[in-house]
Amino acid sequence: METELIFKVAGIGILVAVAYVVLSKSGRDEMAMLLSLCGIVMILLMIVGRVSELFSYIRASFGL
């Protein structure tokens, strides 16, 4: 696994966490929840591509 992907996921996680705390403290809990949901979706979209590459590699390795 590339370290670049790990750093991207960690960076998004830190930014979302800080923004969530700021929005939550200001009384905008709905926006904070929407922000955290968007962060999760962004990370999942990044990881889905890598998982697809992994399955393609496994399929090619075993000749399936």
What averages of pLDDT result for each successive group of 10 residues across the chain (64 residues)? 86 95 93 94 92 91 85
pLDDT score of 49: 87
**The tokens of 32 are what?**
């904070």
For the whole model, what pTM was predicted?
0.75
pLDDT score of 21: 95
Q: Check: CB of residue 47 under 8 Å from CB of residue 6.
A: no
**The tokens of 48 are what?**
């889905």
